[in-house]
Amino acid sequence: MNLPVNLSGTGRRVLISGASRGLGRALARAFAENGDRVAVHYGSREEDARATLDSLAGEGHVLVGGDLSDPAGAADVAGRAAEALGGIDVLVNNAAVNQPHPLADTPYEEWAALWQRHVSVNLLATANLSHLAARRMIDQGTGGRIVNIGSRGAFRGEPDHPAYGAT
């Protein structure tokens, strides 16, 4: 079912990755208060995500868990969100990992694994979800918006979290 989309008002179908707490929770609440229906994504914090979902104004919101570090997991999250909402009009890429790995204290094998994890979630999941949402927006013929959340770490560096700053 394709619902009419008003990108400047209410009624949008919004997928927010990493919406279990913090900025993702605040964004979910803001979209819901605007009359939008929100797919609240979480990777590992299901209880926190349920608290976000329970705090949303309005109706029609959905909880969508899944591992975005895997392309198939990202496709599953986008697909379940689109199915539950009837499409996607807005994607907010907010999910990220930020695990410490200071050079002086981190063995190489752990260092390499942490870099892979950061790149998989913070960079590639953003690209994958963006493609999946944009393709749906094109196919729906409605257009839409994709918002990518960044971090000050990209501009100031993160000595104990270099992969986070880079991604």
Beta strands in 17-144 (DSSP E): 37-42, 62-65, 90-93
- 42 is an active site residue: no
Beta strands in 30-154 (DSSP E): 37-42, 62-65, 90-93, 145-148
Q: How far apart are the first and last CA of the chain?
A: 36
Which backbone phi and psi does 136 adopt, to 5 degrees? -65, -40
In whole angstroms, what is the distance from residue 81 CA to residue 76 CA? 8
Cβ distance 165 to 154 under 8 Å?
yes
Strands of the 62-65 sheet, one edge to the other: 62-65, 37-42, 13-16, 90-93, 145-148
Given the residues 81, 120, 164, 167, the one annotated as active site: 164
The closest alpha carbon to 97, from 55, 32, 155, 158, belongs to 158
Which residues are part of the catalytic machinery?
164
